[in-house]
Structure 1
């Protein structure tokens, strides 16, 4: 498996979890500027990671295994937090 796809997939997962958490807050009646910016930033991270996968050559990607592992771990924690936030808001 190419490290590029794992790395960018983890970045996309973090962007998605940030956007979902902020969207839940918006739906709950918190239309603050920070919440709107979190939605925009989360979607931007998702789009940026997708664009990077399409445009970058996996052979030229040079992130270390430790950096990829740390990002995957951060994505897992971020997704778990988003799921808990979503479950508690229902």
Structure 2
């Protein structure tokens, strides 16, 4: 079971990030399709101009719940451990895309 309000918080943060990028006059697209993934998953957004080393910047917002049963024991022993675990999973999820975008 997922924590209540997770999708709403995710969408809110994604929208804030997208608006900030656009206010900096950097064109970006939310939920782009066709970015090389064979499983159909996609990041939350991508810039439409190169960001670094000729590659576009992509982002994917993650919302973790430190009080979720799966995170409680690690959260008690180390601050930020739930976020670190989520970041590691996210890097693994997009490892194929990171080398190509």
Compute the TM-score of the two structures, normalised by the length of structure 2.
0.29
Instruction: Return the structure number with greater strand share.
Output: 2
Instruction: Name which structure has the greater RCO, CA cutoff 8 Å, separation 6+.
Output: 1
